[in-house]
Structure 1
Amino acid sequence: MICATVGLIIAGISWSHAAFSDQRNMVSYLRGPYNIDFFYRHNAAFRISAAIHFAHAKQHDILQLTPAICCRDMDVSTDVEYLHCLYNPPRTEPTMEYYGPYVAQSIFNLYRAIDWTHMHHEQTYDILSERSIPWHEKKQWTDRAVEYYLETFDIPRSPAPLDVTMRRAAIMMKPYFTLFRNYYPRSNNFFYAAHWWHPVIYEAMMLGGNDEEQESMVMQTDVIYFSQVLENRPLRMLLSREAMPRYSRLSPESANIFDNLHMLHGIAYDILAYEGWSLEQKKAEMERVIRAMSYQPGDRDLARKFIIPHPDMDPRVYYDWMQSGEGDMTRIMREMLDEMMPHMMQGGMDEQMRGRVFRQFAMKMRPGIEQGESEGSLHDALKKLMPDMQMSHEAMEPGVADAKMVEMMLEGWREKYGNLPDVAPISMDVDPMPPVLQDE
């Protein structure tokens, strides 16, 4: 009965619940010959994107207003609603405030950061869609859109790789990390599937070129989304370098911006799912994370510091490696945990304990709660294993990070990848022909 009542409350939210509000300054989109071309040329795909963004918006209020005891029922009903929206998609692009009005009243900067980056999605889709822009000019128009995105707004997502920004954000030992994926696995995996779809659509256009093959590539990729991906959703967040390798070489800045947005979605959902803080405390933490993952001096110099693991992937194939829980996102998290360990366990730990720690880590990284997995967040699980684990009390508070731990992780990244050669640019001299479709 309680959970049913919560659903009615969420459905009937009014604007009178505001406790505090933010300045709502926004910036308009950049004008160009490509504006709204994705809408006209690939309308079915545009509407899929709109349905995904409906789900993103609504998830905020669901998590803030749903008691933890109701998470299972809410997760099931929410997934049904999201799928219904995908099969009956909106005709226009919703902003976050439309379907997440409660959180909009208190943490509007989160929505500003998301909507601004969704606008960048639209602009960059438009550029690739626009026939009047010759193939060899796509990069200069994309670079123009990236410049506008980064320089016209106060909190754009960073063009640095997620490997760097996640270390700056320092969220892994916060009391909320992993709650969304562990307790809302269906909804979480809906977004993992969405974060498969967004990058592979870029890749479909990169392989389709300017002419009619582009429509065919996009439509075939959409078919895979509905026929395979939604039925067997990824178990991790795919990164741009994995799911759109060619576009990542064309515009690594844009590719990293999208990774940083997609990770922000997950972090925001974790924070909102956590019941240990007030909404004002959640706002403080959200603002900290938004700033940490925003564009900072020197970030552009790092834009190409990543490896392309699957350079020849075809977006029309749903590969086994896409479905697995192992990939670049999990690698980044594992590295970060390894880098934090000397700080948290200054007395060291034996191999047996290390094995137990990383087994819990592996389970926490996967959606749902497995047999043998500790309840709660990753922090809760590790604290149960290692009661003497040392954490700065201040850094556990909302809006604060452990500066020493952040620097340790960044130094760890510099040691591993600081001398990594930049990923090579891609030639755009010739309008491409799609490859012959081959199964994995």
Structure 2
Amino acid sequence: MRRRQVLIGLATAAAFRPPAALGQWVTRDHRWPPRGPWNQALPRELPQLFREFNGIDFGHSHLAQTLLETQDPERVERARLEILDFIFSSPSVPPDEEQVAPTFIRLVWEVQRAFNWAHTFHRSLYDLFASGHDDKTGAYRRLLADYLDKPEAITPAMLDHHGKLWSFPESKAFRDRFRTFNTQIWAYHWLQAAVYDVQLLGDAARQREMMPKVIAHYHAYLRRPPVEWQFMPMLMEGAPNFTERFPEAARVFDNLHMLHDNMDDVLCRPDLFPTLRARRDRMMAILPIYLHRSGDRYAEYRMAMGGHGGHGAMAMGPRPPSAHDVLEGRVTPGDPAKPGAAGEQPTSGGDHGKH
């Protein structure tokens, strides 16, 4: 029934067209991943994880389209449940996000292009670490260089997530208005981080052995979103070993996830941005802060030298566990908090192997 509702919603969305005055439309704009012997290793070696990521792609798009159309709590909650249905259906192919969120993608295609290219970088790295490629560090360097070479690439600079980028007039609107949905989105981001440290523990066979524990923990988050979280999971928290070894990618993905939060906040404040033009203008004002091509033009949004992610004195609430906390049984499925005292550094996985 909910799948039928999703299809009806998509048909309705097709009629919800922004005015032509918004300017030039882009109907198709997709960049293919770089070629490499690791391409498609993820669906081949870790098919269940591949399916989880397909569900996440639908979740982001369906949320954006829904918030453009309504702020009604019942309709937004219905969209959240539709996403859960889709995720738990274990979709075998990625959704066409332009069909899921036609208005959002055409309204701010530049934002969607940045999302898509960062998601492609994500997928390329998952493929790489699932493959038997010998020189993973060298391949990572090539993939990173190719990613950053494109104009829509998100910066690997350390941005001030908890400070200036969380202090806009609209900031925290999605978290505070739709807390359950918000932490469902954050659960997606926790999974996307945590699996990297699982992948660093061994070859594809070893990954297949361990990944179900992390996926089960994620599913527990979906069934009971960790509403205790006050801020998005950081890569250092879910995947400390990956962050240490591949810091540029970790920062790109933290910045990507913060950009998602910023966009959702804009969509949740029709009082501040009452028209499609106003929403587009606001989102397009934020986007350049995150782009690598902007260089130092937005230096005020970067962390000061010696900063530690900008946590500072901010009330963070419980922080998520690392992949190693889950694998080693230091937390129970769905536990929102890592073990130990608040403010403790993420737990490393120790002997995580070298690739």
Please, what TM-score do these two structures have when normalized by structure 1? 0.64
In 2, distance between residues paired with 1:170 and 1:219?
34
Kindly provide the amino acid, as one letter, of the partner of residue 192 in structure 1.
W
User: 1:177·1:267 contact (CA, 8 Å) conserved in 2?
Assistant: yes
The C-alpha deviation readout for 1:56-105, integer Å capped at 9, x for no partner, is 01111100110x3x1x2123212211111111032222353231101122
How many angstroms apart in 2 are the aligned matches of 1:203 and 1:144?
A: 20
Shift of 1:184: 1.5
Aligned-residue offset at 1:170: 4.4
1:94 corresponds to which letter in structure 2?
P
- What are the Cα deviations for residues 258-315 of structure 1, in whole angstroms up to 9, with x where unaligned? 11111111111110121122111111111121110121436999999647x9889344
Q: Is the 8 A contact 1:38 1:46 kept in 2?
A: yes
SS at 1:17 equivalent? coil
Give the counterpart of 1:144 among 142, 145, 159: 142
> Is 1:225 aligned with 2:218?
yes
Matches within 5 A, 1:95-134: 95-131=96-132, 133-134=133-134
**Inter-CA distance 33–272: structure 2 relative to 1 (3 Å threshold):** same
Structure 2 residue 35 is the aligned partner of structure 1 residue 31: yes
| CA–CA distance in structure 2, aligned partners of residues 201 and 64 of structure 1 | 31
Distance 1:126 1:305, change over 3 A: farther
CA positional deviation for 1:142: 1.1
Corresponding residue for residue 288 of structure 2:
291
Out of 195, 205, 221, the position equivalent to 2:199 is 205
Residue 54 of structure 2 contacts residue 93 of structure 2 at CA under 8 Å; is this kept in 1? yes
Q: Contact (CA 8 Å) 1:36, 1:126: kept in 2 or not?
A: yes
CA RMSD between the two structures: 3.6
| Aligned residue type for 1:88 | S
Does the Cα contact within 8 Å between 2:111 and 2:284 map onto a contact in 1? yes
Is 1:74 aligned to 2:75, yes or no?
Answer: yes
Give the deviation of 1:187 after TM superposition: 1.4
Alignment check: 8 A CA contact 1:200 1:243 kept? yes
Aligned counterparts, 1:410-425, within 5 A? none
Cα 1:217–1:52 change in 2 (3 A) is: same
- For the pair 1:246 / 2:241, whether they are aligned, the reply is yes
Match of 2:279 in 1: 282
The 1:93–1:302 alpha-carbon spacing in structure 2 relative to 1, beyond 3 Å, is farther
CA distance change for structure 1 residues 157 and 203 in 2, over 3 Å: closer, same or farther? same
The residue matched to 2:91 in structure 1 has which SS?
coil
Report the AA paired with residue 41 of structure 1.
E
Corresponding residue for residue 215 of structure 1 = 208
- Partner Cα separation in structure 2 for residue 201 and residue 312 of structure 1: 7
Shift of 1:143: 1.5
Where structure 2 has 5 or more consecutive residues not aligned to the other structure, the ranges are 310-318, 344-349
Q: Which residue of 2 is the match for residue 12 of structure 1?
A: 12
Q: Which amino acid aligns with 2:148?
A: L
Equivalent residue for 2:157?
A: 160
Question: Please, which runs of 5 or more residues in structure 1 have no aligned partner?
Answer: 332-425, 432-440
Q: Which amino acid aligns with 1:73?
A: E
Change (3 A) 1:35 1:22: same
- Superposition deviation, residue 173 in structure 1: 3.5
2-side partners of 1:63 and 1:220: how far apart? 33
Aligned counterparts of 1:140 and 1:61: Cα–Cα separation in 2: 39
The partner residue of 1:313 within 317, 324, 345 is: 324
8 Å CA contact 1:10, 1:61 repeated in 2: no
**Which secondary structure state, in structure 1, belongs to the residue aligned with residue 182 of structure 2?**
helix
Larger radius of gyration: 1
1:196 aligns with 2:190: yes
2:65 alignment partner in structure 1: 61
Q: Give the letter aligned to residue 150 of structure 1.
A: L
Looking at structure 2, the residues matched to 318 and 195 of structure 1 have their Cα atoms a distance apart, in angstroms, of 20
**1:50 lines up with 2:54 in the alignment:** yes
Check the 8 A contact 2:62/2:79 in 1, yes or no.
no
Which residue does the alignment assign to 2:313? none
Match of 2:124, SS state, is helix
Q: How does 1:400-439 map to 2 (within 5 A)?
A: 430=354
Q: Confirm or deny that 1:257 pairs with 2:268.
A: no
Cα drift, residue 26 of structure 1 = 4.1
Contact 1:239-1:259 within 8 A present in 2 as well? yes
What is the aligned-residue identity percentage? 22
Distance 1:304 1:244, change over 3 A: farther
